[in-house]
A and B are shown apart, each in its own frame.
Chain A
Amino acid sequence: MDVSSPPLASPSTSARARESSTTRVALVVLVTVAVACVALALGPGGLDWELIRALRVPRVLAAAGVGSLLALAGLALQVLLRNPLADPYVLGHSGGASVGALIALLAGGSLWLGAAGGALAAGIALLWLARPALAVSDDASPRLILLGAMLAALFGAVSTLLLALVPDERLRGAIFWLVGDLSGAPASLHDLAAALVFVAFLAWRGRSVDRLMLGADAAWLLGEPVRRLRLELLVAASLAVGLAVSTAGAIGFIGLVVAQGWRLSGVLRTRELALLSALSGAALLMAADLLARIVAAPLELPVGAVMALLGAPCFIVFLARGVR
């Protein structure tokens, strides 16, 4: 059933395509490693090994893991909602995760499970609200983006209210839950490991996910189990957003900038897109966090605000160029 090299392009063309894909991945690996090295080396205090080990390694690891997870979640949501502008922050998934995490914290439950549950609830709410439009034309884009933006606003308000009404010193501040922040991120490899699993899942399901991009009806006619596939994508994206939010708060626009950026430069196979998005999502957030640490040193800026400064204009440019 699987077709590794369809004879539609001449053998030389497909060989060239494979070659350029390998080159591209290799290049992005190099760039990501370089960004990681620079992010480890730079910062207040300079090249002090103790400082690097105790402070910068955990933070760079967290940035890489969260960046990968958010890029992959964006990629999954874009296919799930058939909308190239989908992003977990823009569409309210991150906001839902923040609310879920805050409620879990106040109730004494697990932070990341609460966050994942919140993201899942936000995703289900969005799919349900957009259902009439999705069912009629399979093209709910403008309404979908507006619905998502309003869900995000709603969750932001709930987070703010929870923080104001329950000033608990265990809770991190409003900036963390509303725009995201990596200072004080715990040293852990969970996020990176989860990102690796997510890439493997998307690679395994690659051809089916590619077909889902043709539309739900078209994918079903080609023999894809569409409902199960959509459920898998929704759950995977929600778990990823939950993990990312519990590490770094609600950081936005990575999924949008990274996955859609690669699409616009011609990468359309889910397998390659997943690998490239995970790597460059990591690189992008490490770079943004480096900026956040050194621009106003010794003061630190919240990395979520830096990402929004980069990402919101990208969203506007995509929208103005006719992507919707």
Chain B
Amino acid sequence: MTDAVTPLLETRALRLGAAERVLVQGLDWAVRRGERWCVIGRNGTGKSLLLRALAGLAVPERAGGIAWQGRLQQEWPVGAAAGVRALMPQQPQDRFALSVARLLALSEVVRGPAADPHAPRTLMADLDIEALADRRADRLSGGERQRVALAQCAIQGAALMLLDEPVSFQDPGHQQVVGRWLADRPATGAWIASAHDPGWIARVATHVLALFGDGEWRAGPVAEVLREDVLERTYGCRWRAVEGSWIAE
């Protein structure tokens, strides 16, 4: 856990597909401590599929290797894996009437004796969900539930957080709240989030992985990937940079 050099996540010739379509091919990629990645791509280009595969969940078609902290996924015992990666799903399935506080308590995995006992309360304040602690999770609004899901993922305590669309239901104010919180994560960990707004991504991420939908991809620091030509290839429409923001045309 103290090894600062080994990437938190590494993929080797990763190939993912669904319904006889190749979505990601030949992905050689590494995510290191302190890096904040956003995955961009059109709907159905495999962003959720990639995050599921990176978390170790089953996906329709998969080939190649994924390693967490230098050790192949399948070699991790299920209990230890919970300490190295956490996944925030796009749609949490609430079948029982659990309160937000209970959901968060059940999501805690890594909590040594040195852990800060106030961390959960600080987290809830940071994500503006303090007032929801006693509410039923299945009765929250989409945006509230999404921030609770983000808190669940964070409270697990894994070094690598995989976030499937953490701001898709957030109002503009809460997009900034979540963005600031994500940009402030300690450099001992890393996160990978799927997102769409290049302006938001430019403010919170250090790196971007663009999926083009045909298996091709482009990965690198924000300045190298958030460019007119790459965005146009990603989304199929023209883009214009205006005062640090991006406008689709």
Name A's B-contacting residues (CB within 8 A).
1, 3, 6-9, 82-84, 137-139, 141, 207, 210-211, 213-215, 217-218, 220-225, 263-264, 268-269
11 contacts between A and B (CB under 8 A): A6-B104, A9-B133, A141-B95, A213-B96, A214-B103, A217-B89, A218-B92, A221-B55, A221-B57, A223-B109, A263-B96
- Residues of chain A lying within 8 A (CB to CB) of residue B93: 82, 137-139, 215, 218
A contact residues around B172 at 8 Å (CB): none
Residues of A within 8 A of B98 (CB): 213-214, 268
Bound form: Cα–Cα A224–B87 in Å: 14
Contact B82–A8 (Cβ < 8 Å)? no
Closest residue of B by beta carbon distance from A228? B78
**In the docked arrangement, what's the CA distance between A84 and B83, Å?**
30
Contact for B105 among A6, A83, A218, CB less than 8 A: A6
Bound CA–CA A1/B102 (angstroms):
16
Contacts of B81 in A (CB 8 A): 223
* In the A-B complex, the 6 residue pairs with the closest CB atoms: A223-B82, A6-B105, A223-B79, A8-B101, A82-B95, A213-B96
Contact A7/B121 with A211-B106, A218-B89, A223-B81 known, Cβ cut-off 8 Å: yes
Task: Report the minimum CB–CB distance from A317 to chain B (whole Å).
Answer: 16
Q: Is B106 a contact of A215 with CB atoms below 8 Å? A: no
A5 to B55 Cα, complex, angstroms: 29
Q: Given A3-B108, A221-B87 in contact, is the A84-B78 Cβ separation under 8 Å?
A: no
A139 to chain B, nearest CB (A): 6
A210 contacts B86, CB within 8 Å? no
| Closest residue on chain A to residue B153 by CB atoms | A221
Say whether, besides A3-B111, A139-B95, A268-B97, A223 and B133 are in contact (CB < 8 Å).
no
Bound: A137/B133 CA distance, A: 27
Taking CB atoms, residues of chain A closer than 8 Å to B168 are none
- B137, closest chain A residue (CB): A214
Contact B55 A7 (CB under 8 A): no
What distance in Å separates the Cβ of B33 from its nearest Cβ neighbour in chain A? 21
- Further 12 A-B residue pairs, CB within 8 A, beyond A7-B118, A220-B57, A223-B81: A8-B124, A82-B93, A82-B96, A83-B95, A210-B106, A214-B98, A215-B95, A217-B57, A221-B86, A225-B78, A263-B96, A268-B97
Residue of B nearest to A266 (CB): B97
> Are A222 and B156 also in contact (CB < 8 A) when A6-B105, A211-B106 are?
yes
Q: Report if B80 contacts A (CB, 8 A).
A: yes
> Please, which residue of chain B has its CB at the minimum distance from the CB of A227?
B78
Min CB distance B237 to A, Å, is 32
Question: Are B57 and A7 neighbours in the complex by a CB distance under 8 Å?
Answer: no
Which residues from B are CB-within-8-Å of A225?
78-79
- Are B78 and A223 closer than 8 Å at their CB atoms? yes
B107 at the interface (CB under 8 A from A): yes
The residues of B that contact A8 with a CB separation of less than 8 Å are 101, 104-105, 120-121, 124, 133
B117 on the A face (CB < 8 A): yes
Judge whether B108 and A6 touch: CB under 8 Å. Answer: yes
Q: For the complex, what is the distance from the CA of A222 to the CA of B104, rounded to whole Å?
A: 12
Partner of A9, one of B89, B92, B95, B101: B101
Residues of B contacting A3 in the complex (Cβ-Cβ under 8 angstroms): 105, 108, 111
What CA separation (Å) do A281 and B118 show in the bound complex?
40
Q: Give the residue among B80, B102, B124, B156 with the most A Cβ atoms within 10 A.
A: B102
B109's contact among A7, A9, A222, by CB below 8 Å, is which? A222
CB contact between B95 and one of A84, A217, A221, A222 (< 8 Å): that residue: A84
Give every chain B residue within 8 A of A1 (Cβ-Cβ).
109, 111
Q: Distance in Å from the Cβ of A185 to the closest Cβ of chain B?
A: 34
Task: Pick from B55, B83, B105 the residue with the most CB of A within 10 Å.
Answer: B105
Could you tell me if A223 and B57 are in contact, using CB atoms closer than 8 angstroms? Answer: no
The residues of A that contact B104 with a CB separation of less than 8 Å are: 6, 8
Whole-angstrom CA separation of A230 from B63 in the bound complex: 28
Point out the residues of chain B lying under 8 angstroms from A83, CB to CB.
95
The residue on A at minimum CB distance from B123 is A8
Cβ distance B132 to chain A, nearest Cβ, rounded Å? 11
Check A268/B79 contact, CB under 8 A, given A7-B117, A84-B96, A213-B96: no
